[in-house]
Each structure stands twice: as C-alpha cells, then as structure tokens.
A and B are shown apart, each in its own frame.
Chain A
Amino acid sequence: QSALTQPASVSGSPGQSISISCIGGNSDIGNYNLVSWYQQLPGIAPKLFIYEVSKRPSGISHRFSGSKSGNTASLTISGLQAEDEADYYCCSYAGGNTWVFGGGTKVTVL
C-alpha cells in the first residue's frame, strides 16, 4: 500500500489552466478506473471533486476535469480562480478492499 505520488505544489495565475499529476502503479491506478480527487481547504474536511477518473459530483464546476493514462491520473483546473487555492488529494482503489491516497498537492493562485 505505497502512497501515490503527487507534486508538492502547483501554481498558476488567474484564468490559466493547471494540471496535477498522480502517479501510481499496476496494482492501483493502472488496474482500476477508480481514481478520485478531493479538495481540502484549511481546517475543513476534504470534499469529493472527481470520482471514477473523470466524473464530477453534482455541484462541482466544469472547470475541474480528470483523466488517466496508464499508471498516472491527472486533475486539470481550467480558468483558475482564487477560490481554487487549496490542497488536492488523489485516491485510488488498490484491490482487496483497500484504498491509497496521494501525498497531496498545494495549489497556489498567483
């Protein structure tokens, strides 16, 4: 159950697009289309933003999109806004009723 690998930080200017990568392995991301992404604001519980690689829950902006290629998943934020500044975590089902998270990425809006 090794943690997924995310960049520690990503930044962008308002209006730009940024992407956050999430690197796993053949036993998690590479084997299941069950990647989810969570946004966490300071001092608040995480919130689901993407599930099953690319699906958005009701109420989540279309500016957020997810994708996957091989063992790597990605979250893209288009039209970056100040309110998007937060920590983002990827998570994948890893088989055998276990899940694994990434280390988290801090998104800064310049």
Chain B
Amino acid sequence: QVQLVESGGGMVHPGTSLRLSCEASGFPFKMHGMHWIRQAPGKGLDWVAVVWHNGRIKEHADSLKGRFIISRDNSKNTLYLQMDSLRVEDTGVYFCAREGDSGTYSFDLWGRGTLVTVSS
C-alpha cells in the first residue's frame, strides 16, 4: 500500500525539541524528494522544508532556518524533521509529502499528519 505515516507529535513546552518521523511504504522512497508542510489550527498550509531524493540537498523556509532540520534515511524509508527551540507559533499539524515524478514540483502523496502542540 502506497502511504506515508507520520509520528512523533505531541504536546511540549516552549524552548524544547521534538523529532518527527515519516515512514514511507509502497513506492521507491529513494527516488523522490520529500517535504514537510505544516498547518496551524484553522489556518492555511505552510511549506517547511525539502530534502532531495539522495539527501544531498536540503532547504528550509527562511523563517525556520536554524531551528528546524530536515533529513532522511533511505535505508529505513524514513523522513525526519528535527525541531529545536520550539515556539507557541509552531503549533499545528505537520504533514510529510512526496514530491511527484522529476520535474513536477508538486506534492502527489501526503500523510495524515501529526499534531504538534507547543504550550506553557
């Protein structure tokens, strides 16, 4: 079954860290760029980060550089997001998404998301 399953969300205090995981199955994970996209409660989608299929190129949204780091382990078919110095405004659902075939620059497969709540 082709799917993405996120995990690692939860309720944390401001200033702490969290690592999200996204396990892929049913398709050649190592052939696709992978993204994290988040959605604050009642708000729109916000692109977070991308890692190329081979892990060599990573890019993060300007507002998150220095706090969030995307990575992947192709041997485990797993995508990660390390989130440090968490803020209340980082609260939301975090989706992992697969980038479509080379050149489409779109997200053709999404996970169900994992909820991160940052609160004191």
Contacts and interface: CB of A to CB of B under 8 A. Distances in A.
A103 interface: yes
B108 A51 contact: yes
Interface in A9-47: 32, 34, 36, 38, 40, 44-47
Contacts of B37: 101
Contacts of A96: 59
Interface in A49-101: 51-52, 57, 89, 91, 93, 96-101
A36 B113 CA distance: 20
Given A45-B95, A45-B112, A91-B47, A98 B61 contact: yes
B89 interface: no
A48 interface: yes
Interface residues of A, number: 27
Interface string B81-120: 0000000000000010000100011111011110000000
Contact of B57 (A45, A48, A97): A97
A107 B108 CA distance: 22
Interface of A: 1, 3, 32, 34, 36, 38, 40, 44-48, 51-52, 57, 89, 91, 93, 96-104
Interface of B: 35, 37, 44-47, 50, 57, 59, 61-63, 95, 100, 104-108, 110-113
25 contacts: A34-B104, A34-B105, A36-B104, A36-B105, A45-B113, A46-B110, A48-B107, A51-B100, A52-B104, A52-B105, A52-B106, A57-B108, A89-B44, A89-B45, A91-B106, A91-B107, A96-B59, A97-B57, A98-B50, A99-B47, A100-B47, A101-B45, A101-B46, A103-B44, A104-B45
